[in-house]
Chains A and B, each alone.
Chain A
């Protein structure tokens, strides 16, 4: 008799090998752009490469790196200070600001850019005119300001959670051994929250790296723009891929930073029900209110007011063509959301049923796409797949339109897989393995287990995941711009067209519709995370 037995068999549904294989394959779309970026170096056009090296890359890399640094400082200051005030102290309007300061999440960077640049160009119509001492801000500093305004919520949200769940209790503990409130904050609460802050900041930086619309509106050449220009200016997909492979270095650094931070996020929930917030002196209370008001006004109030004002001047833009763009946006978002949520659910349930190391790795790879900039994905998916289909199918023009949408959806799937996967996977955690064991012991067939166990447990988070992906695709710019079939304009691509011609007021109209859609996930988020926020208000 052999001395070894079957070690840790997969949970309960036996070994559905075909199924597992299919789940493993879900990581392929993420690997394609990586392979393409490496492959791009297999044949080098010396003249083009020389051009890139002399005129494109130095500026693009420097611009990207400096921008990352400036925005990092911005989101850290705005995000951490606001989160600390809202979560740890008490001041007039605190509970309200806890929600209001999340609202800028609904504004893509390029929308804030429209308002910012529109205000500068035509401020006269909206404001009484710009003061003469106003410095020039159509540069990387203005750009960093705009990106900070739209991205600080990443740091704010996660840091608020960290402070709320353990910061307050830690401060009480510190004060009980004699530290003064501000010492307790600096010595205890801030170090405790550092991993959360770092995770939020690395997410914000991934968005900076991925950003296309905002930097394009500022005419600032970063790596994303360089990819676009190489493809549509030089007509060299290969050069675009080579730039993309350079971008991958940044991606890896940011992913590593995030992974390190998450590893240190040891969550020990401490009851916050009976904890008292830190008292602020009278002047400090009003300063806190002023700070939060300023952040909210600059990041949301002012831009949205201007957009509404500008949009109202151009209501005539809402015609049959506009409705067509909106329909295209919604259709793509709907198809993408359905595809992504089905794939994400399939992946999450496969791992839950049979948590093998191979499947876990596949899951990790398949959900890495959130770190890959859209421009990188667009060129990384389009080039190899269109070449493959050409060599196979002979490149029929008619099939390209359908193929175009399919490729576009593949790009969305890679970029937004994690968005749908996270809520679904966390719902599967609610199903203990013993539930599957007990189903199997009673001889329940696999299909029945999916219907009676998984579907009722997962459907809510599937809906949430689909909604989030829907909104993200509506707002998505570079993938749509570069991979859409000819003639398929969407709201986001129209925003790009208007802004590239400096028509800020016209761009406000589609932008407003995108904001309206973008508010939905913020509201969901507040409902999910902000609940204990108001009950502990002492």
Chain B
């Protein structure tokens, strides 16, 4: 089990991480999500032992790795890392690259383990190939095999799929997730793509400016974002104006009254309610009509941008056999399982990815 308590870090006078706390159960996978500069890579490098925190503690399986009195060096942690640029040596073939991380073992044993790891990622027959003779996806697998071969207690992944095309990325992610599950390895992935984070992690953390806004299941991060930033950063959606009744039982919006989800509400009556595109359903019988102002085709569905009579815009994800023209008015209704209210913000209201 990985435990961070109030972990802080700074480069000189610039704070990078601010009191981050989280717990990752043993054998689980997690993804840290955040825009560039949010501190996610620094967090990963602290876990690896490359950098030293300025405060707080890191524990793994009960052992203290970092606090005011401890700094366990990287080589003593039994962790492995898959780097963004893969860090493969150009002059070594695939199996020697995997073996590179196993230098503590005797040669025959290291060889056997390296081959086994290559086999796990389906590359046993490319063992003798050098990096320049392997495709992008194959290189990725070699890097993963190298990290797994050492049987690390914790696997750290620093945006390892960012250089691949979308389809390959998805495939590798699924394979890796299955492999980690099978081996029971605890893993933490860093990424700026929420789709990648959701597909990989049983847990997802959202970082902004060094602060951990939420550490939760992917479902909750998407549907029950704890802050406006998380709602904004993760996926598409809009905020519409609402006002909370005196008794707090419902929020009045121009698309009807909604029961707010349990949890703390903003301490004011005027709020913003988060509407995801999948919360807005197309319903010809609905009393609420909206005019289509833009549309984009996504294969299985259309994403419609809709304008209500008041001028408020919402997004709606509609199965693609409902093909309407721009300017056409269609009926919509809300179907929210979670009604998330936030203090209103100035500025833009339409969320994009």
Contact = CB atoms under 8 A, between A and B. Distances in A.
Contacts of B101: 438, 441-442
B75 A441 contact: yes
Given A437-B48, A443-B76, A448-B103, A5 B53 contact: yes
B54 A4 contact: yes
A90 B146 CA distance: 51
A434 B92 CA distance: 16
Interface stretch (A6-14, A50-58, A414-422): A6-14
Interface stretch (A285-293, A378-386, A450-458): A450-458
Given A3-B54, A7-B12, A457-B90, A440 B75 contact: yes
Contacts of B13: 4
Contacts of B54: 1-5
Contact of A444 (B9, B77, B90, B103): B103
A12 B50 contact: yes
Nearest to A444: B103
Contacts of A4: 10, 12-13, 54
Contact of A441 (B10, B68, B74, B91): B74
A170 to B, nearest CB: 29
Contacts, number: 93
Contacts of B100: 438-439, 442, 444, 452
Contact of A434 (B49, B53, B84): B84
Given A440-B74, A442-B103, A443-B76, A5 B52 contact: yes
Contacts of A3: 10, 54-55
Contacts of A5: 8-11, 51-54
Nearest to B75: A443
Contacts of A435: 87-89
Nearest to B13: A4
A432 B85 contact: yes
A299 B74 CA distance: 59
Contacts of B68: 1
B80 interface: yes
B53 A441 contact: no
A257 to B, nearest CB: 35
A116 to B, nearest CB: 47
Contacts of B87: 432, 434-435, 437-438
B42 to A, nearest CB: 10
Contact of A6 (B51, B103, B146): B51
A449 to B, nearest CB: 10
Interface string A424-468: 000000101011011111111000100011001100000000000
A439 B81 CA distance: 10
A530 B49 CA distance: 45
A7 B11 contact: yes
Contacts of B76: 443
Contact of B55 (A1, A6, A12, A457): A1
A1 to B, nearest CB: 4
Nearest to B85: A432
Nearest to A453: B89
Interface string B88-104: 11111000000011111
Nearest to B149: A442
Interface residues of A, number: 28
B80 A441 contact: yes
B84 A8 contact: no
Given A434-B87, A435-B87, A443-B75, A9 B12 contact: no
A430 B90 contact: yes
A498 B46 CA distance: 68
B79 interface: yes
A195 B50 CA distance: 40
A441 B55 contact: no
Residue from A5, A437, A439 having most chain B Cβ neighbours under 10 A = A5
Contact of B104 (A438, A443, A452): A443
A475 B331 CA distance: 88
Interface string B59-90: 00000000010000111110111011111111
A5 B52 CA distance: 6
Contacts of A2: 54
Given A4-B10, A5-B10, A435-B87, A442 B51 contact: no
A179 B86 CA distance: 46
Interface string B146-183: 10001000000000000000000000000000000000
Contact of A9 (B8, B52, B104, B150): B52
A433 to B, nearest CB: 9
B151 to A, nearest CB: 12
A467 to B, nearest CB: 20
A453 B101 CA distance: 12
B324 to A, nearest CB: 43
Contacts of B12: 4, 7
Interface string A1-43: 1111111110010100000000000000000000000000000
A443 B150 CA distance: 11
Nearest to B101: A442
A442 B80 contact: yes
Contacts of A440: 50, 74-75
A6 B10 CA distance: 8
B38 to A, nearest CB: 17
Nearest to B14: A7
A512 to B, nearest CB: 39
Given A443-B76, A453-B89, A438 B55 contact: no
Contacts of A438: 81, 83, 87, 100-101, 146
Interface string A61-101: 00000000000000000000000000000000000000000
Interface string B3-42: 0000011111100000000000000000000000000000
Contacts of A448: 103
Contacts of B146: 438
A439 B92 CA distance: 14
A432 to B, nearest CB: 5
Nearest to B150: A442
B106 to A, nearest CB: 15
A90 to B, nearest CB: 33
Interface-central residue, A1, A4, A441, by most chain B CB under 10 Å: A441
A434 B10 contact: no
A441 B103 contact: no
A87 to B, nearest CB: 29
A511 to B, nearest CB: 41
Contacts of B10: 3-5, 7
B208 to A, nearest CB: 20
Contacts of A441: 48-49, 74-75, 77, 79-81, 101
B170 to A, nearest CB: 24
B197 to A, nearest CB: 22
Contacts of A453: 89
Contacts of B91: 456-457
A226 B74 CA distance: 59
Contacts of A12: 50
A442 B90 contact: no
B47 to A, nearest CB: 11
Contacts of B53: 5
Contacts of A434: 83-87
B68 to A, nearest CB: 6
A8 to B, nearest CB: 6
B178 to A, nearest CB: 24
B132 to A, nearest CB: 12
B111 to A, nearest CB: 15
A168 B102 CA distance: 49
14 contacts: A1-B54, A1-B55, A2-B54, A4-B12, A5-B10, A5-B52, A434-B85, A441-B48, A441-B81, A442-B104, A442-B150, A443-B103, A452-B89, A456-B89
Given A5-B9, A439-B100, 12 more contacts: A1-B68, A4-B13, A4-B54, A9-B52, A435-B87, A438-B87, A438-B146, A441-B101, A443-B74, A452-B89, A456-B91, A456-B92
Q: Which 6 A-B pairs have the closest CB atoms?
A: A443-B75, A5-B54, A434-B83, A434-B87, A442-B101, A1-B55
